[in-house]
Amino acid sequence: MKNVSKVVSLLLVVCIAAAVFAACGETEGTNPSAGTTHVDYVAETKLDMNSNTKKQEVTFGQRSQIDGDTSHFEVPKSVDASGVIKARYLAVDTPESTGQIEEWGKAASRFTQEKLSSAASIVLESDSESWNYDGNGRYLVWVWYQPAADAEYRCLNIELLQNGLGASSKASDGRYGQAAVAAINQATQEKLFMFSGQKDPEYPYGGAASITLRELRLNVEEYNGKKVSVEGIVTYNSDYTAFIQSYDGETGMWYGVQVFYGYNSQLIPVLEQGSKVRVVGVLTEFYGTYQISSLNYNPMKPEDPTNTVQLSKGNEVTYPEATPEVYAGNVTVPSGDSEVTKKFKELAVSTTLSMKNLKVTDVYTTTNPDSHDCGAMTLTCEVDGKTVSIRTGVFYDDNGNIFQESVYAGKTIDINGILEAYNGDYQIRALAKEDITIHN
């Protein structure tokens, strides 16, 4: 009887051990929610440098990222006269992040940015023996990157699908269609990101339109009176007002907006110069200038995407140069599936810029003693046949005396300032006397 008991006990131990071993083996390399073995389809898909497809090694610049499935890559001008390949990824359609930002759009864009910005090498591959293009003239490509110099190339198109950060865009049609379809099916089964059924923690549910500053500037009348959520770098903060702007790689322009935060002193450190911020508030028109006001702000909820919050600090504030031709001219930029042509000044309002060699032809000084800017000047300038208006602050010399018109009258100057709308026209505001350089 004791021997039988020992045998039964031994069998029980073996069964339990086998069950534990089986459970451990099932957990390793699987997704618990899906209950199936995870396959790295990206690793299984190989780049064949000897195939007959077109290939081009490219460079990913600091401002090359557009969104999750679109990038601009730098190439020799012998490859493309512009020195840039505008690439649209094959097989994958990531959520929007260049206009009206969609759920998971920021996550997809960040994923692409991180993979490419740290890559040891990047190769674009066509789907056939020649380069193909979409309706906007963008190269339709497979994007391969090396995570390290000694690593194999990975296909970013398939990796986006495998991670649930993109939907199918004729995924089965291309030369890597089988892997692309398998990757998106697996992401769906594993319930990753877009297919998780969960809310995007970066998306402002609750009424605010999550948009880029480019989208706001292109369609400012459409958003007037509506709650919006935008991100940008603070370039200036004073008198209860901040200016924020962001760079758009697709158009090569900065877009900005004025932010009025009223008497809420808690927002002063949040909106300090050089901070990247998310601002949530209502877009309103104020004496011909559009601004965001009525800000949503709760310092106890910094992770709440419906909340105005500081995302980072110490970002560089730049003053890109505008030539007289650009400043006085029009620009054509993509908008959805079409293009829009607007005045440069209309799109660049509320952003920083610089101009050089402006000849001051006239000076007007505000002399009303009841005005808060009594002593400020408006400088009418000429450069290459174009007229540029500059508005100064109330500036003082080293002895504490207010600047007189003779400081600038007849001089040639350079300006760093913020472009603002004024009385149906535009002017560049110099916020400090150091913003104006007088030629000797």
pLDDT in tens, 94-110: 999 988 999 999 999 99
Confidence at residue 288, expressed as pLDDT on a 0 to 100 scale: 81
Mean pLDDT (whole number) for 313-339: 93
- What DSSP element (H or E) covers 238? strand 227-238
Give strand pairing partners of 163.
none
Please write the tens of the pLDDT for every residue from 43-63: 999 999 999 999 999 999 866
Range with the lowest mean pLDDT among 136-145, 171-180, 368-377?
368-377
Residue 315's alpha-carbon distances to 78, 181, 236, 277, in angstroms, are 35, 40, 12, 11
Q: What's the CA angle centered on 332, arms 326 and 337, to 5 degrees? A: 160
User: Kind of pairing, strands 154-155 and 139-146?
Assistant: antiparallel
Structure tokens at 195: 């297919």
17 confidence band (pLDDT: 50, 70, 90): very low
Residue pair 399/264 in contact by the 8 Å Cβ criterion: no
Tell me which of 237 and 11 has the higher pLDDT: 237
Q: What's the CA angle centered on 28, arms 23 and 32, to 5 degrees? A: 75
10 confidence band (pLDDT: 50, 70, 90): very low
**What distance separates the 2 farthest-apart alpha carbons in the chain?**
116
8 confidence band (pLDDT: 50, 70, 90): very low
DSSP string, 65-103: EEETTEEEEE--TTT-TTSEEEEEESEEEPPP-SSBPPT
Is 288 exposed, middle or buried (CB count within 10 Å of its CB: 0-12, 13-18, 19+)? exposed
35 confidence band (pLDDT: 50, 70, 90): low
| pTM for this entry | 0.83
Q: Is residue 9 over pLDDT 60?
A: no
31 confidence band (pLDDT: 50, 70, 90): very low
Give the integer Cα–Cα distance in Å for 118 and 141: 20
Number of C-beta neighbours around residue 364 at 10 A = 13
Give SS3 for 254.
Answer: strand
Confidence at residue 62, expressed as pLDDT on a 0 to 100 scale: 66
The number of CA neighbours under 13 Å toward the Cβ of 399 is 2
Residue pair 189/34 in contact by the 8 Å Cβ criterion: yes
Structure tokens at 141: 């490509």
Give SS3 for 352.
Answer: strand
Confidence at residue 90, expressed as pLDDT on a 0 to 100 scale: 98
Give the integer Cα–Cα distance in Å for 344 and 326: 7
pLDDT, the chain, mean: 90
3-state helix, strand, coil in the chain (%, to 5): 20, 35, 40
Confidence at residue 30, expressed as pLDDT on a 0 to 100 scale: 38
Residue pair 348/254 in contact by the 8 Å Cβ criterion: yes
